[in-house]
Chains A and B, each alone.
Chain A
Amino acid sequence: MADEVFEVLPLGIDPQSKSITSTSSSKDLQTELAALNTLHRSLLSLETSLQIPPPPVPVNPKRSANISKLRDSGNDAYRKSKYGEAVKFYNLGLQMALTRPLWEPQQLVREEVSALFANRAQAHMSMQNWPEGAVDAEASVEAKRTGNAKAWWRRGKCLVEMGRLEEAREWVSRGLEMEGDEAELAALLKEINAKLGKETA
């Protein structure tokens, strides 16, 4: 079965930047090479001797500390009703969490990102920016599906505020399926159903 047949690709290397280039016009190849070169650059920044990614488990604690600091600053600003400032802090935190090296555990990224998105959604909602709130809450749910009732509720609420009741009902019902019987979600669903009933009546 050991067929060592492979297609030799027209590859070359840029002597300065050490990035791999190709004369081929294949789109797949070009995107793959772009991915390869970015990964290469991020691997070069590693301090390990051979520049191979370390096993995922012991994580560099620096970034985690920075992210939680930014989240706390955001929360403080939110408590002082400085919502715009809070959004800025959450933005920075998200940027930091999403640029975490790819080989670090995704579970960690999910936790951090879901919390930050949920908080940013809340800040947007306090400023009555319903569409941003809805999108952020959805992103939060995408990162963490269960144990994230707040984010489910927030998107539902935003949809209600924008008058998209059918969508809200579907979303909240799905949230109830995932979260079990969350009192707040159930209450929101009741509210939506009441509104829908009024509309059709």
Chain B
Amino acid sequence: MEWFDIDWKGLALPFAYIFVLGGMLYTFSTIYRKRKASQSANLAPWFPPHLQKNIYSSLLEINAADNHDKKTRVPASVVRTALLRRAVEDIGRIIQVRSAKQALNTLLQRGSVGDDLMQRFSRAEKEMEEELRDVVMEANALAPGWGQAIFQSANEIAANTHLRARIDDIQAQAATEKEWWEKRRQCISKEFMKELDEEEELSKAGSVRVGSDDEGVLVDSTSPATSPGGSKKRVKK
């Protein structure tokens, strides 16, 4: 039969070749995919951990844990303040997200940044949306209607804090500027005094010369009257 005529032993090598090739491709693709998946799962978050949110949640946790002890209970006013601080931090993050979005899109179109950066960014954006909704809900729960106003207040707080920090920075220069100017003024006045001294010396030296000139002039001015030239003139006349 023809079936048995095939030289199986001779074909073993090509079969082995195909098998090894297929196996290699398979293992490569699985490993590659696994790595890619774990990479995107482990992408660094866009923002550092949300400290204010952690504080807020921790405070709520304290209240949930020991409800009975009045001394260690966190007053509602502190909880509200913590939520307001959280909203202020969110304002800063929103501004960052908005300003980064435009730039990132341009860079992505040009191919200057990788996909994973964009992935990280869109994840941060989504998280921010969630965060805002969360804060509004919490605010409404703490005080009816506060959800409407909390971000307005937070916005002003963020802007005011920034402004005051800038002004403090500028005003802090006053002391060093003043010190510099005092030194500088002393320098200038010293130089000025030096110049004055030099001028004085110069003028002393000058005055001596001027004096002698004056004498000469005097001699000259007096001489015509008595000089022979004058008399000559007179003679000529």
Q: C-beta contact mask, A159-177 vs B, less than 8 Å → 1, else 0?
A: 0001100000000000000
Residues of A within 8 A of B166 (CB): 142
Q: Is the CB of B78 within 8 A of A18?
A: yes
Give the distance in Å from the alpha carbon of A163 to the alpha carbon of B184 in the complex. 10
Q: Which of A8, A11, A15, A43 contacts B77 (CB 8 A)?
A: A43
Q: Which of A13, A102, A134, A139 contacts B177 (CB 8 A)?
A: A134
From residue B171, how far is it (CB to closest CB) to chain A in Å?
6
Give the distance in Å from the alpha carbon of A110 to the alpha carbon of B163 in the complex. 8
Taking CB as reference atom, which chain A residue is nearest B57? A6
Which of B92-100, B145-153, B206-214, B215-223 forms part of the interface with chain A?
A: B145-153
CB-CB under 8 A for A36 and B167, given A9-B55, A11-B59, A106-B156: no
Q: Is the CB of A52 within 8 A of B160?
A: no
From residue A199, how far is it (CB to closest CB) to chain B in Å?
15
Q: Is the CB of A52 within 8 A of B80?
A: yes
Residues of A within 8 A of B54 (CB): 6-9
Give the distance in Å from the alpha carbon of A105 to the alpha carbon of B77 in the complex. 22
Considering only residues 48-107 of chain A, those with a C-beta below 8 Å from chain B are 50-56, 98, 100, 102-106
Q: On chain B, which size bracket covers the interface?
A: 35 or more
From residue A107, how far is it (CB to closest CB) to chain B in Å?
9
From residue B132, how far is it (CB to closest CB) to chain A in Å?
13
B21 within 8 Å of A (CB atoms)? no
Taking CB as reference atom, which chain B residue is nearest A103? B153
Residues of A within 8 A of B58 (CB): 6-9, 11
B1 within 8 Å of A (CB atoms)? no
Q: C-beta contact mask, B111-129 vs A, less than 8 Å → 1, else 0?
A: 0000000000000001100
Q: Which of B80, B148, B170, B188 contacts A135 (CB 8 A)?
A: B170
A1 within 8 Å of B (CB atoms)? yes
A33 within 8 Å of B (CB atoms)? yes
From residue B8, how far is it (CB to closest CB) to chain A in Å?
58
Residues of B within 8 A of A103 (CB): 153, 156-157, 160
Q: Is the CB of B72 within 8 A of A1?
A: no
B62 within 8 Å of A (CB atoms)? yes
Q: C-beta contact mask, B73-95 vs A, less than 8 Å → 1, else 0?
A: 11101101110110000000000
Q: Is the CB of B173 within 8 A of A32?
A: no
CB-CB under 8 A for A132 and B174, given A11-B55, A40-B81, A55-B149: yes
From residue A133, how far is it (CB to closest CB) to chain B in Å?
10
Q: C-beta contact mask, B167-194 vs A, less than 8 Å → 1, else 0?
A: 1001101100110110010001000000
Give the distance in Å from the alpha carbon of A162 to the alpha carbon of B164 in the complex. 27
B161 within 8 Å of A (CB atoms)? yes
Q: Is the CB of B61 within 8 A of A43?
A: no
CB-CB under 8 A for A109 and B163, given A15-B71, A15-B72: yes
Q: Is the CB of A132 within 8 A of B80?
A: no
Taking CB as reference atom, which chain B residue is nearest A33? B55
Q: C-beta contact mask, A32-44 vs B, less than 8 Å → 1, else 0?
A: 1101100110011
From residue B95, how far is it (CB to closest CB) to chain A in Å?
14
B7 within 8 Å of A (CB atoms)? no
Residues of A within 8 A of B149 (CB): 52-55
B51 within 8 Å of A (CB atoms)? yes
Taking CB as reference atom, which chain B residue is nearest A50? B143
Give the distance in Å from the alpha carbon of A134 to the alpha carbon of B177 in the complex. 9
Residues of A within 8 A of B173 (CB): 135
Q: Is the CB of B57 within 8 A of A106?
A: no
